[in-house]
Structure 1
Amino acid sequence: MTLLGAGARLVEAAGGRTLAGQELDAEVSKAGAALAELPAGVLFARMSVDLPSVLTYLGAFEAGRAIALIDPALDADVLAGLITRFRPGAVLSAPETPETPAPSGYTAAGGHWVRDSAEGVEPHPDLAVLLPTSGSTGNPKLVRLSRGAIMANAAAIAEVLGLTADEVAPTCLPLHYSYGLSVLNSHLVRGATVVIEPSGVLGRGFWDAVTTYGVTSLSGVPYHYEMLRRLKFDPAKYPTLRTLTQAGGKLRDELVAEFNDKMRAVGGRMYVMYGQTEAGPRMTTVPAERLAEKLGSAGPALPGGAFSVRRDDGVETRHPKIVGEVVYRGPNVMMGYADDESGLAAGDEYGGVLATGDLGYLDADGYLFITGRLKRIGKVFGNRVSLDDLEQAVRSASVGIDVVAAVPGGDKVVLFAELPEDDGAKAICKDASRALSERLHLHTSGFDVRPIETVPLLASGKIDYRSLEGRI
């Protein structure tokens, strides 16, 4: 199994270098050969959005070397904890500051930390990629994804998006983030071009690259689309850009409709998707031609996958309109989690079945609608409320708040609204509290809406809820 379809190209926007054909194959093989010389065990790769990181990932995949993709901005203490628990053969592109010397048992060499001992747990032969379950804080487990899961998901995404070798996709998202990684995988397997540009959709360099290289698609999470709306994004300015994809959380229905209309007006298309890292990562795509009709839906399962809903009594059903925990079955489901080095050798523990932890229902056409998270629950005076629903209620209350994050705060909910911290913002926050009070018939004191200059984000573009919990 190979991720490099015939004709696949990598373009490094910063240096203008292009790798394709035999030269690309040679560079990937060279990277794989270097990794094969490292001590046994998983390899930790701190994945920047650059050509060396992409070649490292592809080299490991093609050489059959299990690799964990790590956020280069990961807190030093969290990284140290992961190294202690998993004893990687090496930490690639290791931190290079006096404050972060190589940990005990490792030697700095060639920009990497290489384990001194040659002995280590051999990962399961099917294991290809490991991704942390959380972002810059916490004590993450690693999601174990097999080569088959990665390939199956890449092929299914390429099929539903109609990807061909003519596509030119930029690196809109971090490569250690499952959504960003899947964009890379799904284009390369179809022999398409990937433009490596690190500044992201909110950077000027990104849009220069869109024009220079004839980029055909853009991928983003809800925050990106909120910002693009503020920036008055107009696809007519970019004649080659004709596909938008959105995942990484639910985008407001009105914004889905707005961007869908923008793309249709120029002969383009928009796709809304749903997924989790544990599913390698995507599970659904709403067909572009049915997006307006199925507004609010996450779409049907990808080819080869299927959904059911688990009721409170544990019975699974596909009967329309029954709300319960969403259960997914497909070849892209993870092998399981790893808590430490010993877990790397484990085989497939999930059998292609993933209980997502999301609440939702299926309609008569088999389209999935997500209604919330089992664990995204807060309490207001003892009443259980969905934090996701509260965020959506604030955004739709027409009080002037577009970006908001809700976290539990004891017997109330604290909502951080992205607003300038002045008297006007305080008034808007009071309006939001009243709107929630009227909607849920609970006293306004149960909804503590606070202005914040910028809602903190993880590298993936998702809201950093852990950071906000620490501010209460």
Structure 2
Amino acid sequence: MIDLTGSVPAPAAPAPDVSRPWPKTVPFARDLAAHGDRVALVTPDGELTYRELADRVTATAARLGPTRRLVLLAGANRADALVTHLAALSAGHPVLLVPGDSESTVRSLTEAYAPDVVARPRADGSWHLDERHPGSAHTLHPDLALLLSTSGSTGSPKLVRLSHANLQANAESIATYLGIDDTDRAATTLPMHYCYGLSVIHSHLVRGAGLVLTERSVSEAAFWEEFRAARGTSLAGVPYTFDLLDRIGFERMELPHLRRVTQAGGRLAPERAAHYARLGLRSGWQFFVMYGQTEATARMAYLPAHLAAERPEAIGVPIPGGSFRLKPVDGHGPDVGELVYSGPNVMLGYAESPADLALGRTVDELHTGDLARRAPDGLYEIVGRRSRFAKILGLRIDPQQVENLLAEHGVPAFCAGDGEALAVAALEGTEDEAGIRRLVADRCGLPVRALRVRVLAELPRLASGKPDYEAVRRLTRPEPSAQPEPPGTDEDLLLLYTEILGRTDVTEDSSFVSLGGDSLCYVEMSLRLEEALGRLPADWHTRTIRELRTQAAAPTEEPRRGVAGALRSWRTRRTLETGIALRAAGIVLIVGSHIQIFDIKGFAHILLGIAGYNFARFQLTDAARRDRVRRLWRSIARIALPSMVWITGAVLLTDFYDPANAVLLNSLISQGNDRFDWAYWFVEALVYFLVVLAALMAVPLLDRLERRYVFGVPLALMALGLVGRYDLLGLASQRPQLSPSVVFWLFALGWAAARATTVRQRALLTAVLLLTVPGLFHDQPLRTTLVIVGLGLLIWVPALPSVGPVNALAGLLASSSLYIYLTHYQVYPYLQNDFPLTALFASLAVGVGYATFVTRAARRVRWL
């Protein structure tokens, strides 16, 4: 073992063995003395000139010996580590540079590569060289100069092999485009083992400039004291560095010697890049956005400072000596391709084991994995990351794009694919987990179960300040639970809501109405929830999943034993919502009456009242106005589009319908009084009502009025509807009881019934019902009575006693009622004369089938 400290005099270097060829070296490390007495290092212990630095480097090179050996160096922003690094490069010893602050990484790579020398500090802080082999245990290629990891502190054995020529060329190129000269002094704001931080050191040494060698963070006041005292001219940072600068009020600092600020190591949001560019213009320093990868030694592109404010979204142009080309990528247009870089700084290749250290060049150009385009002004722009694409549930997701999306909404986050899930770590204090899930799921089309979101006080980063994506995956994974989840709760309910509503943003704090649930999926949801949780409260649709689960977990009565228990297991006593019962019974009676099995009419008008009732419950939620209107248009589409598709087929294939039916305009431009021309009056009226109300609810004043007078607004609309009921303005069509202007009052009455909370309010609606329904259907007392009774039940009786099997059947019919109504006109005419009952069951079956088809299609098309 050999000790190396600044206080121990160095022995004279042995004469080189002239019988062997002198190894290749890095010129800027070998020629340090050429810069004479210029200040090379400013350290907490004092200054070191280039001549003094060269002497120490020469002495350490002698300690490493004349035989090329692999030197594992624990990187640190301290003089001893830098001297060892330069000594190895000047003498031709390949350096394996690792994070000095990660004991596990040092141990892992020491085991993987069996270095000949390990250079690192002792526990007391003194520098130490551990000489493990007098010669070398490896075959080292003559061009090999440096080994760097691309995976931070993970200890991965995959390393980048860089040559002496790579290091010299990149240092020269960076110094050229930044305009570094021997009067500059750069602070080591980034770790030495990180290629960006190392490139700052190399590019200043190659010009004889000074380095303010410090391990302090830019968030510390002492750092700025050192920087000012050293007359620092350059700062380098990754995006996280600029977060810290924002926090400490960098833009208000007095830094009279600052000349340039550089940024790389990840995408800085364009608006922030532009902000720093403008700040530099005001303060007298230049701001450079740069782009690079370890595989290109450090840098591949830079954005000229004079363009940083106006083109902050670009990475700029290739560095001097380098060039780009765009390789076409499937699924992208001709303007976008994978960015491929060529230049003298492209690595030799990768190493994954000691045997690879003998390899020469295996790579001629660098496929960056980034998707880019070349703008008309010649600047390159990164548009995505090809290699970070994750395939989740069959969808190709770009985590970088998700990070960009969240950043646009003010949510700093790191995202990573992890098998069949997208892991998202977000910064605390910006958005809750539910909001993040909702945003990402909506934009990416992922189900909520494929998202793992965790809000953290600090985002996980590597020592370099770059995102630690492995930590993102680890931190977002759920901890194993000692107790299995009870069936029908937690994830089961989330999946149930996701499945039925076709939404991807379901969380425990979601409710049926908050997710935009409507009457078309209400029935199925209520019945499925009842199966999972037992009896539901009347307001279950407004309760969160968390609340429903908590209720389900509450103690219940012990089930009865024996014959009674057996009967109960088959015939579970439940309740059935009155609205669902009326929809189920009503569609059967409507179809049966059309087939003429019986003559019980009036349910279509009852269903209009139920439609108003459900409109109030599911559309007029506490959501923001825009969300309300958006959900309302979504419901309109779910009614109108399947109806128009089916009716268009009927118009094309039969002679029974006027073309106006296909676009739901028969009620407005009827050309005749044929029975079938008016077959779809109910659908037309419902769509008209919803379209007009969507337009009205979009008006802020009307939206506020409805929220304030929840019962008064529908009552006023019902009064207005009575003008149409009695056709005081002469707007009714040839079939007045089927005219939208005549029947709107029933829709408004149902709306008011949903808002009625007192006996007085319900009594008022009942009185209106008793006074206004008579006379609507001339000489049809049964029909009149049926409408009054049905809507009376809706007003006064929220639920009816029922049993499990009846609920299941009623749920199926009620949820399919719209589609049964649509399709039965094309089914029963062919069977009603000879097989009336068959015609009834066939009509119901076809409608259920069409409902299933539409529901599945709607879940695939997310905006339906």
Aligned partner of 1:88 in structure 2 is: 115
The aligned counterpart of 1:282 is 299
Q: Are the counterparts in 2 of residues 376 and 386 from structure 1 also a CA contact under 8 Å?
A: yes
2:339 corresponds, among 326, 347, 364, to 326
Please give the per-residue CA displacement for 1:189-238, whole angstroms capped at 9, x wherever unaligned: 11111110111322222111111111111100011112212322126421
The answer to whether residue 405 in structure 2 is matched with residue 393 in structure 1 is yes
Q: 1:14 maps to what in 2?
A: 44
Q: CA-atom RMSD, angstroms?
A: 2.4
Distance 1:41 1:11, change over 3 A: closer
Q: Check whether the contact 1:359–1:374 (CA below 8 A) recurs between aligned residues.
A: yes
> Which residue of the partner structure matches residue 229 of structure 1?
246
1:382 aligned to 394, 418, 441, which one?
A: 394
Which among 412, 429, 435 is matched to residue 431 of structure 1? 435
**SS of 1:151's equivalent?**
helix
Equivalent in the alignment of 1:102: none
- Contact kept in structure 2, 1:93 and 1:111, CA below 8 Å: yes
2:426 to 408, 413, 417: 417
Separation of aligned partners in 2, 1:14 and 1:94: 17
Cα separation, partners in 2 of 1:266 and 1:128, compared to 1, 3 Å: same
Structure with bigger strand share is 1
Tell me if structure 2 keeps the 8 A contact 1:304–1:330.
Answer: yes
Deviation at 1:381, TM superposition (A): 4.2
Q: How does 1:7-156 map to 2 (within 5 A)?
A: 9-16=39-46, 18-36=47-65, 40-76=68-104, 78-93=105-120, 96=123, 111-116=128-133, 118-156=135-173
Q: Report deviation, 1:80.
A: 3.3
- Secondary structure class of the residue paired with 2:460: coil
How far is the alpha carbon of 1:369 from its aligned partner?
1.1
* Deviation readout 1:62-119 (Å, 9 max, x if unpaired): 112111111112342x43342233221111116659xxxxxxxxxxx98333214634
The structure with more radius of gyration: 2
Q: Distance in 1 between matches of 2:248 and 2:308?
A: 23
- Deviations, residues 162-210 of structure 1 (Å, cap 9, x unaligned): 1111111011111111000000010111111111011132222211111
Q: 2:185: which partner in 1?
A: 168
> How far 1:393 sits from its partner (Å)?
0.6
> Per the alignment, do residues 110 and 218 of structure 1 end up closer, same or farther by CA in structure 2, a change over 3 Å counting?
closer
Partner of residue 703, structure 2: none
Task: Verify the 8 A CA contact 1:235 1:242 in the aligned structure 2.
Answer: no
The one-letter code sitting in structure 2 at the alignment partner of 1:367 is L
Residue correspondence of structure 1 range 332-371 to structure 2 within 5 A: 332-351=345-364, 353-371=365-383
SS at match of 2:360: coil
Structure 1 residue identity aligned to 2:267: K
Which residue of 262, 276, 280 maps to 1:263? 280
1:307 maps to which of 324, 348, 359: 324
CA contact (8 A) 1:362 1:368 kept: yes
The amino acid of 2:469's aligned partner reads Y
Distance in 1 between the 2:355 and 2:447 partners? 50
Amino acid at match of 1:406: C
In the alignment, residue 79 of structure 1 is paired with which amino acid? V
Q: 1:312 to 1:21 in 2, by over 3 A?
A: closer
2:794 alignment counterpart? none
Determine the C-alpha separation between the residues in 2 that align with 1:95 and 1:309: 48
| CA-to-aligned-CA distance 1:245-299 (integer Å, 9 cap, x gap) | 0000101111101111111111211000000001011001100011123221111
CA contact (8 A) 1:184 1:194 kept: yes
Aligned to 1:449: 453
Distance in 2 of aligned mates of 1:217 and 1:262: 15
1:405 alignment partner in structure 2: 414
- How far apart, in 2, do the equivalents of 1:269 and 1:119 lie? 46
1: CA distance, partners of 2:86 / 2:276? 33
Whether the 8 Å CA contact 2:157–2:353 is kept in 1: the answer is no
SS at match of 1:59: helix
Task: Give the partner amino acid of 1:22.
Answer: R
* 2:112 and 2:157 in contact (8 A); partners too: no
Aligned to 1:449, what secondary structure does the other structure show? strand
Q: Tell me the amino acid that sits aligned with residue 419 of structure 1.
A: E
Contact kept, 8 Å, 2:108 with 2:155, in 1: the verdict is no
Report which structure shows greater RCO (CA 8 Å, sep ≥6).
Answer: 1
CA distance in 2: counterparts of 1:194 and 1:24, whole angstroms: 12
Is 1:459 matched up with 2:474? no
| Aligned match of 1:104 | none
Residues 411-438 of structure 1, C-alpha deviation per residue, up to 9 Å, x if partnerless?
A: 4322111115xxxx6x633333333344
SS at match of 2:28: coil
Using the alignment, how far apart are the partners of 2:418 and 2:110 within structure 1? Answer: 33
Q: Residue 248 of structure 1 corresponds to which residue in structure 2?
A: 265
1:49–1:197 CA contact under 8 A, matched in 2: yes
Q: Assess, with a 3 A threshold, how the Cα gap between structure 1 residues 90 and 442 changes in structure 2: closer, same or farther.
A: closer
Specify the SS of the correspondent of 2:245: helix
Contact 2:371-2:385 at 8 Å conserved across structures:
yes
Distance 2:248 2:107 in 1: 39
CA distance in 2, matches of 1:370, 1:323: 9
- Say whether the 8 Å CA contact 1:279–1:334 is kept in structure 2: yes
Flag the 1:331–1:90 CA change in 2: closer, same or farther, 3 A. same
Aligned-partner Cα distance in 2 for 1:410–1:129: 34
Relative to structure 1, the CA distance from residue 289 to residue 137 in structure 2 (aligned partners, 3 Å threshold; closer, same or farther) is same
Report the Cα distance in structure 1 between the residues aligned to 2:335 and 2:174, rounded to whole angstroms: 27
Would the alpha carbon gap of residues 307 and 430 (structure 1) be closer, same or farther in structure 2, given more than 3 Å must change? same
> Secondary structure at the residue paired with 1:466?
helix
Instruction: Give me the whole-angstrom Cα distance separating, in 1, the residues matched to 2:249 and 2:394.
Output: 42
1:314 to 1:385, Cα distance in 2 relative to 1, 3 A: closer
Report the Cα distance in structure 1 between the residues aligned to 2:438 and 2:136, rounded to whole angstroms: 62
Q: List alignment gaps of at least 5 residues for structure 2.
A: 1-26, 478-864
How many positions carry a matched residue from both structures? 445
Quick one: distance in 1 between partners of 2:363 and 2:446? 42
Verify the 8 A CA contact 1:74 1:135 in the aligned structure 2: no
Q: Secondary structure at the match of 2:262?
A: strand
CA contact (8 A) 1:171 1:200 kept: no
Tell me if the contact between 1:397 and 1:432 (Cα under 8 Å) persists in the aligned partners. Answer: no
**By percentage of residues, which structure has more helix?**
2
Letter in 2 for 1:407: A
> Cα distance, 1:313 vs. partner?
6.5
SS, match of residue 208 in structure 1: helix
Find the residue that maps to 2:212 and give its secondary structure.
Answer: strand
Query: Which of 464, 474, 477 is equivalent to 1:470?
Result: 474
Which one-letter code corresponds to 1:112 in the other structure?
A: L
Answer whether contact 1:179 1:281 (CA < 8 A) is retained.
Answer: yes
User: Shift of the alpha carbon at 1:340?
Assistant: 1.9
Stretch of structure 1 that moved more, 291-300 or 18-27:
18-27
